[in-house]
Homo-oligomer: A and B are copies of this chain.
Amino acid sequence: MSSKELGITVKKDQDLSEWYTQVVTKAQLADYSSAKGFMVLMPYGYSIWEKIKEDFDKKIKAIGHKNAYFPLLIPERLLKTETEHFAGFTPEVFWVTHSGDTELAEKLAVRPTSETIIYESYSKWVKSWRDLPILINVWNSVVRAEITSTRPFLRTTEFLWQEGHTVHETEREAEEEVMTILGIYSQLVQDELAIPILVGKKTEREKFKGAVYTTTMEAMMPDGKALQMGTSHHLGQKFSIPFEIKYLGKDEKEHYGWTTSWGLSWRLIGAAILSHGDDRGLILPPRIAPTQVVVIPIFYKETDQKDISDEVRYLSSQLEQIGIRTLIDDRAQYTPGWKYHEWEMKGVPLRVEIGPKDIQAKQVTVVRRDTREKIAINRSDANDRISKILSEIQNHLFDRAKKSLDGLTATAADMQSFKKVLEEKGGFIKAFLSDDSCEEKIKIETGATVRVVPMKAAKKGKCVYCGADNSIEVYFARSY
């Protein structure tokens, strides 16, 4: 294979779809599977998922949440308990009908989401106000039939995610939980993944099937299509009533609990690829990068080897000591140039090269993945400088993505300008909307849907579709 084939063969801004597929496979993040619609999360992709898990897990545990595990297969009767929910999910459910050669008495659904199987347990566990709140999170995978073509991380029949399911004494507490989680989600996406987002509610049409309302965060990809990054739902008593999640209150009376659910998935990895990558491959934000710094020794002569190897090991151990995730690439069978390409493809934020000249000059040479800037830094303050550069990269990636988001946000007062923006560059279109019927017509005519209704009482104005006064401001976009 030539090194050209090893690299990405298309430009990101010319064919985003093909570019994306090549990055995913050439950076060894994920692979297709012969099980149609399914994907394999390869070790490098999994190590990014582990960083995301670690970060989120720590944050929710710090405020009292605990992990648990619930069954993969859900009896049909349970899934049917909340009718709106069942109707919403049933077309995409995979059904188990046989065990060995024996037909099962009742079909079992491979979980598309776990509300029903979890609430059955909660109805047993919740008896008194003393049992509340229940704050449980699950790391698992769910399966939903995908009719359209597979896009690794973005559209797969099975995906890894977390689903949180909580029960509270009062509606106020449940609504607070919904917002607390949305806040942690936003922090994770913006501060760790360096992806700017819009935050708000979904419309009735776009909400989770079975929710009172759904809150969401939405990012904008470079091709002008929005990507939903995670949702947090207020379920009110819509599940607690049919599932009989009841508690004896301090007032000695029986009450139904108030529930929430919330989820985010490996889709975040897809968003990071699309947001930050360039023609050379992936670019990972340092905070989420499994390897933040790769150190590559450059040997010219046999006699240099010991000095350089010592220096490489010393620097790496110094960096590791201050918590920088560092990898030494001293594989003998590859040239430095090959290694540069490989780690650029894999998006490692910073490369350190150490050769004979560096040893002599008591310096190391670092190369930023985002700007490809080459910087010689004094050996003596390498730790400080490298920490600082990693922060700069993190901020730079966010700022660059924010500029792209701002450039892809427009306003439309009528359908003519709405359609014009949509055709020319896509992106978010801020517009006023009167009701569900105009929302549906816009979707049919343009393919754009309401992504976000801003949280604070939105401004009022004339509906972009029908011109009715007193319409609320929302953000439209086409989406993944």
Least CB distance from A385 to B in Å reads 29
Q: Is the CB of A333 within 8 A of B130?
A: yes
CA distance A96 to B33 in the complex (A): 17
How far apart sit A38 and B49, CA to CA, in the bound complex (Å)?
A: 27
**Complex contact B73–A35 (CB within 8 A):** yes
Contact B100 A90 (CB under 8 A): yes
Contact status of A96 and B99, CB under 8 A, knowing A38-B73, A47-B66, A66-B47: no
| Nearest CB in chain B: distance from A16 CB, A | 25
Report, as a range, how many residues of chain A touch the other chain: 35 or more
Total copies of the chain? 2
Assuming the contacts A43-B68, A92-B99, asked whether A75 and B35 have C-beta atoms less than 8 A apart, the reply is yes
A98 contacts B by Cβ under 8 Å: yes
A79-119: CB near B (< 8 Å → 1, else 0) gives 00000000000111111111111000000101000000100
Q: Whole-angstrom distance between the alpha carbons of A90 and B102 in the complex?
A: 11
Q: A34-B75, A38-B73, A141-B72 are in contact. Are A108 and B136 (CB under 8 A)?
A: no
Whether the Cβ atoms of A96 and B110 lie closer than 8 Å is: yes
Task: Give the complex CA separation of A94 and B96 in angstroms.
Answer: 6
From residue A11, how far is it (CB to closest CB) to chain B in Å? 27
**B33 & A110 in contact (Cβ 8 Å cutoff):** no
- Please name 17 further chain A to chain B contacts, defined as beta carbons within 8 Å, in addition to the given A95-B97, A97-B98, A110-B110, sorted by A numbering: A31-B125, A33-B117, A34-B78, A35-B71, A35-B108, A40-B68, A40-B70, A41-B69, A46-B68, A49-B69, A69-B141, A72-B143, A73-B110, A73-B143, A94-B99, A95-B96, A96-B96
**Contacts A/B (CB < 8 Å), 26 sampled:** A31-B121, A33-B121, A35-B73, A35-B117, A40-B69, A40-B70, A41-B68, A42-B68, A43-B67, A45-B68, A46-B67, A46-B69, A47-B66, A69-B141, A69-B160, A71-B158, A72-B72, A72-B110, A72-B143, A72-B158, A73-B158, A92-B99, A93-B100, A95-B99, A96-B97, A97-B97
